[in-house]
Structure 1
Amino acid sequence: MLRLKFDPRLDFQIDSISSVLDLFKGQTKKPFDYTFQIISNLLDLPQRRIFENLQEIQKKNGLPLSNADDLKEPYNFTVEMETGTGKTYVYLRTILELNQKYGWTKFIIVVPSVAIKEGVLKTLDITKEHFKQLSENLPYTYFPYKSDNLVMVRMFGQDTNLQIMVITRDAFNKDINIIHNVHDKMGDKPIEIIKKTKPIVILDEPQKMGGGATLWGLSELSPLFVLRYSATHRDIYNLVYKLTPYDAYNLGLVKKIEVLSITEEGDASSKKIILDRIESTSGGLRAKVKVFANTKDGIKFKMITIKHGDDLANKTDNSYYEGFITSEINKGAGYLSFSNGVKIYEGKSSIDEDEIIRFMVRETVREHLDKKRQLNHKGFKVLSLFFLNRVDDYLLEDGIVRRMFEKEFNKLIKNGFKEFSNLDVQKVHSGYFSKMKRDKSIEEDEKAFDLIMKDKERLLSLEEPVEFIFSHSALREGWDNPNVFNICTLAYSSSEIKKRQEIGRGLRLPVNQDGDRIQDRDINLLTVITNESYREYLERLQIEYREEAGEEAPPVEDKRERIKVKIKNDVVQGGLFKNLWNRVSPKAKYIVNLDDGKFIEQCIKEIQKIEIKEPEISIKKVRVDKIGNYN
């Protein structure tokens, strides 16, 4: 069975761990203090000494220095590490070393979602043997908090060995939660037992837990101090270590990125607008449209009202809609027209979404099979991840994406990838959603959940047939797999999904069948399939890097630039060319010179047959080579 291996000698991880341990330099191990049979963490190092340690660490790591006023009880310290560099491993190993060095035994890991909780528990499972070797068989217990198993809370309070509780914020951020109520068997509120332990709290993705209710719940835990871990902190409290995207990317700690762009070329209607309805008002006709608008919370797909003469780019504060000026609102015929010729009918979209999605699915499968051909024989399992616009597009047996995927998969197997003809299309894909709605047995739902969320090693095995994973939002945070080589988001370019969040699911370095991570930059490549131009994609990625990391987005090169060729008639007539043409013609686009008269005549005949205009799809792939510093 495949087992993941961990390298304990990575300098950046050791530096992060040491930065936290050194905060408490001068603290000594204390004998256990039994307070009402509860064992609690003790910290008697003066605040002044902790502040001195903090500034010493910040100077060493080249970070902004905290002020004395920044250090308030309960102490909060921040560690920033790029996605895919082992953040969870680092804070788990930090827990063990804090126990060994200072004797603290009570730790609570707080997470914002079930997906992240399962990821943490899985990491605890697969690192158990590794940590035992590092810590000379240090005994420790870890468990998820469950309101129907409160005996574990009692054990957490009374056990003298290291205890690690994993809990979601929703389990304790309301006073009606079971954790805040008295239980006869315990003789107290579970929260009161936890309070007495003075736990050290680890916040995983704290930027997702900044609401008033969660802050109240955290205060109820009465932590000794709080360690905050994320790649994208919203608020920084006493930063002690920072591994930037620039460092991670250029040191080869994460995969390189390339963008495969699929758009309707040269067509203004490729900008998504949905006409919901037309209304008559005292001021004239108004159209209710759903568009991508720039709000204080970022780009949101929302409903706005427009009238004749409105400039959609101004109304949405989004240059995505440049050239869209309302020219006609026709209530009788039920349509809206813009100055660039785009016309939309009520209840309809400005774009042929199904055709774009079909191309995206097809190109993702093609990328997957290409990489499978290159990497399977080297011992790498290739995984591809789809994010859906609508759950039922996959969950339903006749869901449009499910049908498209199976059709395109079978077509590609027959045309170009016959060596994989033994694959069963029904077995190569699976899905996980926060709410499984399909009318299937619970056993099958649990099987998908266990494979995707819990059994990472089996999913990485070449013996496991599942290679394509479909999800809606449940896997957009807290889940990743090192062998995700392709990510396809079947939603439109200005969607609310953060680009860094999107690529984060596949940044981790891949592993082979021996469980070893591979440091080969030719293999370590993540392809993102998107429905926007690579220029638009990178502009948005650049904004996110600047806002969240203070760095430039990666420069790219276009791998599918068009080139001009001249016809050599003697070559074209030969059998060698015909053989070559049969191979390359399905994969390229061409611009050719024709006899105008004959061309026009033929076009007239063909146009008379046309009922529905087919979109012209542009497919471009670009690669991110490096990230530059942003000053």
Structure 2
Amino acid sequence: MQFKLENPQHQISAIQSVVEVFRGMERNTYDNAHIEDIHTNVCSLSNQQLHENIQRVIQDNSIPDSQFFICDENEACIEMETGTGKTLTYIQTAYELYKEYGLSKFIIIVPSVPIRQGVIDTIDNFKEQLVDKYDITPNAFVYDSSKISALNDFITSDQLQIMVLTLAAFNSEDKILNQVEREILFNELSYRDALAQTHPIVFMDEPQEGMDTENSKQWIAKLNPLFKFRYSATHAVKKNVLYQLTPAESYRLGLVKRLEVLTVSESNDEATMKLEIRDVQPSASQVKVKLKFWKLNKTKGRFEFKDSGWLKKDDNLADKSGNESYLDFTISRIYKSMSDRKWHVAFTNGTEIVEGASSANKEQVWALQLEWLIRRHFENKNRLKPKGIKNLSLIFIDRVANYMSVERPIIKQIFEQKYREVYPEYNEGKQPTDIEIQSVQGFYFAKTTQGEYTDKEDACRRNKEIFDEILHNKQHLLSFDSPIEFIFSHSALGVGWDNPNVFGIATLNESYSENKKRQEIGRGLRICVNQNGERIYDDDETPEDELLNQLTIVPNETYETFARCYQQEYEEQYGNGVHIPKPKRTHKGKRLNRVTFKLKKDETVMGVFHRFWNVVSRKTSYRVHMDEETLIRKSIESLDEIRINDYTLDVQSMRVTDISNLETAEYFGSESYVGKAKYNPHDLVEEISEKTGLCYTSVLKIIEGISNKDQYIKNPPVFMEQAVFKIRQVQLDELVRCVEYKPTGETYGFDFSDFSKDGCDDWVATPNHGVWDKTLYDSLHEKDFAIEADKITNTEVLCFLKFPRWYKILTPIGNYEPDFGIVLHKRALNNHAEDKEYYFVVEIKGTNDINDTRALTPHEIGRIKCAVKHFKSLGIEAFYKAPIKEYETFKAQANQTINNNGNI
């Protein structure tokens, strides 16, 4: 099979845009472009004339102002969507420049072996057709250090020369290309220096793949190019954008396949303890990490899968998320592994998560992905084969062992099982033979020097044998003579490999795909070809259900996630028309505020405060008498309340109408599947024992006593986490119920002096009733409370203070720090009675209700209840009020307490 040369308008426009850059220059001839033994590219135009031409081309092509990136370098970008013939475009551009101006020296720089091979295959495939079109036969070759004669011809000949080379072929001093030969060649110049004197025009294919590093730029500059043209769909660096064929335009014009995104994702996974690494802030002193976890939304009263703030070593996730399920997740280490070069976060409970890891039930997700890929494959086959079009499906995996392992090639096993299940439905009830199932599978993985298959991307790129097999067999794969229909490949092989007849792509990942979504889609975007190598286009009137050129992407994530990732990439490339705000200024280097807190000098106030402190400074100890049988009984009662939704997998089909805005996709249908849970009763006992601290015997009694074991079978991870949460709640309630306090005879001392604090902004002036002239606060509720308490009209307030951090009340569920101490003064109504002082300790929260679980976590409620017992053990001299939201509520409760204690 030989692909047929076409002349679509978008390729003609891209070619002509480059030709026009040199408009007005004198044609190169042997007389004006041959210097001694070297034939060179010569441009008679000045830089000013070249850049005037560039600006005219940009204007003629109506490039948006925000996209043309004018600069004064001899460098320009041609931006063409993947699958629209970029390689053939720049190859024909070389022919046109030679035909029009006699420019004869062209170097195509590629970032990798597969892209290099694709270029050569394109040149070979269209060689005869290009000869017929241009009547030119170029010397086109891959640079090979063992075949220097081709390089000699490139330097000396006045005929069209096209050399293809990778960056790795010349980007260091030890490369043969950079060595001075002993023989007297080119006036004793090294090949590189002689090459530089040819002033080649350089075509940079996918320059974002390593050509913009400082090292690469230096070595490319040593080629002394006449001009550099950058070709890509996703430029990272843009300079003088001459031509732009966006994804949206190519999609609208039907230059690429239409797109269906058929997603497979889990649902009902709220209690799976899912954690993801979102961002890392490296530092020599303290590394910080942002995680995504199930976080309590106090306003809505539910858990949401949200990003955390910056976390560091020793942070506990339960404290940071408000989700008690994470109680034993305390960060023990944040590090970047030298082996996989990914960030890891380790926890004190032995759990460790890796950058990019997902918690999906991967094997069931893979099974559904493969089932629907196979279904779409057979649907395509039945409608495409009569038209002479062979369809292929591509399956990317990220661990070769999942397909090639002798012990357990799980992906291969799942594929063959699903193929057997789906096959009869599309083949008149027939069953496939084992030979047929094996023959439809093709796989391409890199090998080590020992002959073992490997996951490593570098090995994939170096392994010429594998890539030759992939790329040289492209035409054979398109033929009905080849039995291969499903191609398994490593995700690292994605760059540079595509085939016009790929109609389905599934990405089976153990982690979230690190490939770019546009790159992922790009592997199958090309318009399909028939057995004669002719591209077959759909008419504008073709109904959606009858389209030949439709690519189905089957990712293991929700459509919303897929669309968001794609949209972000698209907007990074082309913008979204929305003004981007300037980044906020940081405060690095800013001088820290130093605030001084002055102690009251009023002896009356200080006398009141001393009396108050003598009461509240007394320390207590506690002991807990827990009844194990009561704990077991209450745990059984609580676990019996668990009701689990079925673990389900959702499949959804969306048809993309505008590839620049995937949110406008049309819903095409969906299916839900009840997952089959794998479970082991020993897992349940061990998990609960480990996370609650109960012995196996107690846990077994609880499990034996529950009446809803069927709920566990539905979704074991969810049940286990809910069971742990409920047992911990019972333990917490029992600890609080059974705790007893008594004074120890010890007291907290107090340093009655002024103090200063650096970097302090969270304070409010309290000159009237504060023990200090300023009071710290930890929340806006605390700030408001302090302001109200300090009002000069509050004559009942003798003094108040924010308790220092070191003032702690011991509880079995962690130390507790109350917020405010306040002394009220009440005049006696009876003239013969004395005025009294009343001492209060106040806990400020966003609620006045101790049972408000939306505003308070179980641990907060438990600590408050323990504090109640602590202060009761001190006698009735100090009254504890918690939780309190605002001063008026405190005032009302304080008046009631005072009245109840006989001040009437």
TM-score range for the pair, normalised by the shorter chain length: 0.7 to 0.9
Residue in 2 that maps onto 1:184: 182
Residue from 254, 257, 263 that aligns with 1:255: 257
- One-letter code aligned to 2:264: I
Which whole-Å CA distance do the structure 1 matches of 2:245 and 2:216 have between them?
27
Q: Percent of counterpart pairs with the same letter? A: 35
Q: How much does 1:294 deviate?
A: 4.4
After superposition, residues 142-181 of structure 1 pair within 5 angstroms as 142-181=140-179
1:601-616 maps to which residues of 2 (within 5 A)?
607=710, 610=713, 613=716
Corresponding residue number in structure 1 for 2:687: none
The AA in structure 2 aligned to 1:369 is F
Q: For 1:306 and 1:364, locate their aligned partners in 2 and report how far apart those are by CA, in whole Å.
A: 33
* 1:515 counterpart = 2:624: no
Give the distance between the partners of 2:432 and 2:292, measured in 1 at CA: 55
Counterpart Cα distance in 1 of 2:524 and 2:28: 43
Say if 1:431 and 1:448, in contact at 8 Å, map to a contact too: no
Report matched runs for 1:208-357 at 5 Å.
208=209, 209-268=211-270, 273=275, 291-294=276-279, 304=289, 313-315=307-309, 325=323, 327-330=325-328, 346=351, 350-357=359-366
1:394 CA displacement = 2.2
Q: Distance in 1 between matches of 2:559 and 2:117?
A: 34
User: Partner of 1:480 in structure 2?
Assistant: 498
Residue from 418, 431, 446 that aligns with 1:408: 418
What is the CA distance between 1:403 and its match in structure 2? 2.2
The 8 Å contact of residues 486 and 506 in structure 1, kept in 2 or not, is answered as: yes
4+ residue runs of structure 1 moved beyond 6 angstroms? 65-69, 305-312
**Is 2:507 aligned against 1:489?**
yes
Contact 1:430–1:469 (CA<8 Å) still a contact in 2? Answer: yes
User: In the TM superposition, what is the alpha-carbon distance from 1:374 to its structure 2 partner?
Assistant: 2.1
Shift of 1:86: 0.7
Instruction: Write the distance in 2 (CA, Å) between the matches of 1:324 and 1:385.
Output: 43
Q: Is the 8 A contact 1:140 1:163 kept in 2?
A: yes
2: CA distance between counterparts of 1:221 and 1:141? 19
Say if 2:668 is the partner of 1:559.
yes
Matched-pair contact (CA < 8 Å) for 1:195–1:223: yes
- Amino acid aligned to 1:47: N
The match for 1:58 is 58
User: Which of the pair has more CA radius of gyration?
Assistant: 2
Is the contact made by 2:420 and 2:431 (CA closer than 8 Å) also made in structure 1? no
Residues 436-459 of structure 1 deviation map (CA, whole Å, 9 limit, x = unaligned): 689589xxx988644422232111
Alignment of 1:20-99 (within 5 A): 20-32=18-30, 33-64=33-64, 70-72=71-73, 75-99=74-98
In structure 1, list runs of 5 or more residues that go unmatched.
274-290, 335-342, 563-586, 590-603, 616-631
SS of 1:143's equivalent in the other structure is strand
Provide closer, same or farther for how the CA distance between residues 150 and 399 of structure 1 changes in structure 2, counting only shifts above 3 A: farther
Residue 413 (structure 1) shift: 2.2
| Equivalent position amino acid for 2:62 in 1 | G
Work out the CA distance in 2 between the residues paired with 1:505 and 1:155.
36
The CA deviation string for residues 456-512 of structure 1, in whole angstroms up to 9 with x for no partner, is 211111111111112223432222111110111112684322111100011111111
One-letter amino acid of the counterpart of residue 412, structure 1 = V
Contact 1:37 1:158 in 2 (8 A): yes
The residue type paired with residue 71 of structure 1 is D
**Contact 2:273–2:325 (CA<8 Å) still a contact in 1?**
no
The equivalent of 1:471 in structure 2 is 489
Q: TM-score, normalised by structure 1?
A: 0.77
- Distance verdict in 2 for CA 1:243–1:612, change over 3 Å: closer
Equivalent residue, structure 2, for 1:527 = 552
SS in 1 for 2:491: coil
In the superposition, relative to structure 1, how do residues 374 and 411 fare at CA in structure 2: closer, same or farther (>3 Å)? same
What amino acid is aligned across from residue 161 of structure 1 in structure 2?
A: Q
Q: Which moved more, 1:392-401 or 1:240-249?
A: 392-401
1:242–1:353 CA distance, 2 compared to 1 (3 A) = same
C-alpha displacement of 1:292: 4.0
Using a 3 Å threshold, how does the CA distance of structure 1 residues 184 and 268 change in structure 2: closer, same or farther? farther
The amino acid that maps onto 1:191 is: R
- The yes-or-no answer on 1:426 pairing with 2:448 is no
Structure 1 315/393 Cα, relative in aligned 2: closer, same or farther at 3 Å?
Answer: farther
Q: Aligned AA for 2:38?
A: I
Please state whether the residue corresponding to 1:426 is helix, strand or coil. Answer: helix
CA–CA distance in structure 1, aligned partners of residues 292 and 49 of structure 2: 64
Q: Distance in 1 between matches of 2:292 and 2:241?
A: 50
The 2-side partners of 1:250 and 1:27 are apart by: 37
Evaluate the alpha carbon distance shift between residue 269 and residue 140 of structure 1 in structure 2; reply closer, same or farther with a 3 A threshold: farther
Question: Equivalent residue of 1:540, what SS?
Answer: helix
Whole-Å separation in 2 of the counterparts to 1:464 and 1:357:
26
Aligned to 1:116: 115
- Establish whether residue 539 from structure 1 lines up as the match of residue 539 from structure 2: no
Report Cα offsets for 1:335-388 as digits up to 9, x if no partner: xxxxxxxx9973687432222122222222222122112212221111111111
- SS of the aligned residue for 1:527 comes to strand
Q: Which residues of structure 2 form unaligned runs of 5+?
A: 297-305, 312-319, 333-347, 454-462, 577-659, 675-706, 719-904
Q: Give the 3-state SS of the residue equivalent to 1:406 in structure 2.
A: helix
Could you tell me whether the CA contact under 8 Å between 1:310 and 1:326 is conserved in 2?
no
Residue 497 to residue 325, structure 1, CA distance change in 2 (3 Å): farther
Q: Distance in 1 between matches of 2:14 and 2:502?
A: 26
| Cα-to-partner distance string for 1:105-142 (whole Å, 9 max, x where unaligned) | 11000011111111111111111122111102x12111
Structure 2 vs 1, CA of residues 405 and 561 (structure 1 numbering), >3 Å: closer, same or farther?
A: closer
Checking the alignment, whether the CA contact within 8 Å between 1:27 and 1:102 is kept in structure 2 is yes
Cα root mean square deviation, aligned: 3.7
Corresponding position of 2:395: 386
Q: Does 1:132 align with 2:137?
A: no
Of 502-511 and 381-390, more deviation after overlay is shown by: 381-390
- 1:406: Cα distance to partner? 2.2
The structure-2 alpha-carbon separation of the partners of 1:231 and 1:69, relative to structure 1 and needing over 3 Å to count, comes to: closer
Q: 1:196 to 1:395 in 2, by over 3 A?
A: farther
Distance 1:476 1:67 in 2: 29
Match of 1:351, SS state, is coil
Counterparts of 1:561 and 1:69, CA distance in 2: 47
Asked whether the 8 Å contact 2:69–2:241 carries over to 1, the reply is: no
Q: 1:63 to 1:361 in 2, by over 3 A?
A: same
Specify the SS of the correspondent of 2:229.
Answer: strand
* Structure 2 counterpart SS, 1:207: coil
User: What amino acid is aligned across from residue 482 of structure 1 in structure 2?
Assistant: P
Residue identity opposite 1:221 in structure 2: L
Please point out which of 535, 550, 557 is paired with 2:575.
550
The answer (yes or no) to whether the contact 2:104–2:161 under 8 Å persists in 1 is yes
Q: Distance in 2 between matches of 1:3 and 1:324?
A: 63
The 1:269–1:304 alpha-carbon spacing in structure 2 relative to 1, beyond 3 Å, is: farther
Deviation (angstroms), 1:307: 13
CA–CA separation in structure 2 for the residues paired with 1:77 and 1:538: 31
Alpha-carbon shift at residue 258 of structure 1 (Å): 0.8
Report if aligned partners of 2:68, 2:239 keep a CA contact under 8 Å in 1.
no
State the distance in 2 between where 1:399 and 1:306 align: 32
Q: Deviations over 1:558-607 (max 9, x none)?
A: 21157xxxxxxxxxxxxxxxxxxxxxxxx988xxxxxxxxxxxxxx8992
Structure 2 CA distance for aligned equivalents of residues 157 and 511 of structure 1: 38
Residue identity opposite 2:259 in structure 1: I
Asked if 2 retains the 8 angstrom alpha-carbon contact of 1:493 and 1:532, the reply is no
The question of 1:202 aligning with 2:170 is answered: no
Larger mean CA deviation between 427-436 and 380-389 belongs to 427-436
Between the two proteins, the alignment pairs up a number of residues equal to 539
